[in-house]
Amino acid sequence: MNVLRWLARKAGATLWSSEPDIVRATKDAAMVVASKSGRRTVIFPRPLASVEGGLAQRSHVLETEFGEVRIFAADV
């Protein structure tokens, strides 16, 4: 298990991705960079929609390749 994820959980932090991905966010947008290929679930504190299309929602299930970038925004 990734040490930083373990420490974050112990500190009570909310992990936005089910995988150790790179997540950068502002109030109205978020970017997820896949740390490995496969399925992951990302959960945002407020509904965001993928810029690729779809409904704004808090939870998104993604199938990604290593290094793939997904972008989400409040007003798409």
Burial of 32 per CB tally in 10 Å (0-12, 13-18, 19+): buried
Give φ, ψ of 18 to 5 degrees: -75, -10
* pLDDT of 76 higher than 80: no
Sign of CA dihedral 62, 19, 38, 36: positive
Task: For the chain, give every domain's residue range.
Answer: 16-73
Say how far apart CA 1 and CA 64 lie, in whole Å: 20
Is domain 16-73 classified as CATH 2.60.40? yes
Distance, in Å, from the CA atom of 75 to the CA atom of 68, rounded to the nearest integer, reads 22
Residues 4-47 have pLDDT tens digits of: 888 989 999 989 999 999 999 999 999 999 999 999 999 999 99
